[in-house]
Amino acid sequence: MTTLPTAPLLLHTPALDEAKAPKDQVQRAAELAALHRAAGAGEAAAAWVRELAGHQGEEDHGRLLERVAEAIAQASSREIIPGSNGLLTEELRCTLAADVVLGASHTTGTLPELHAGERMSLIAVCAIAAAMPSCVLGDLARELEVLAAELDAATAAGRAASEALAG
């Protein structure tokens, strides 16, 4: 008589649950650290964009850059919602679009007072901030750490360009 192999019986045991708990806690701690890092990078980027806003001769350009700064801060913090679809609202997408370097030229007839290094850095900062919420669809901690580092680098390049032009 042949016997059929049987599947091992899986039982709920506290030891198995305890072994999983530290891994979950480590993952959650890494995600929280990445969320804080992203928010910090976003605030630094927003502060630089607010400085750009303060240097504008045209009030409309300054107001637009202030909105961009707020959108950067929001996209790099409050919009990163684990469990969400990772998409930005249409308003935030439009505010962070690359045409930010055109400012309010449709109403002023002029471009914002930005120099080449500032323009490129501003575009990079906006693109990186806009990408941050989508990290919830993948490996949140790892991807957000990468984007936060890139946001810091883009901000540093923009600040360096601003300082070089001022000095």
- In a domain, residue 62? The reply is yes
- DSSP sequence for 81-95: -TTS--PPPHHHHHH
The DSSP line for 77-139 is TTT--TTS--PPPHHHHHHTSGGGGGTTHHHHSS--S--HHHHHHHHHHHHHHHHGGGGGGS-
With respect to residue 9, please indicate whether it lies within any of the assigned structural domains. Answer: no
**How many domains is the chain built from?**
1
Q: Which amino acid is at 48?
A: W
pTM listed for this prediction: 0.84
Fill in the amino acid letter for 160: A
Each residue of 123-138: pLDDT tens digit? 999 999 999 999 999 9
pLDDT band at 165 (very low <50, low <70, confident <90, very high): confident
Domain that holds residue 88: 46-166
Query: Which range has the worst mean pLDDT, 44-58, 71-85, 102-116?
Result: 102-116
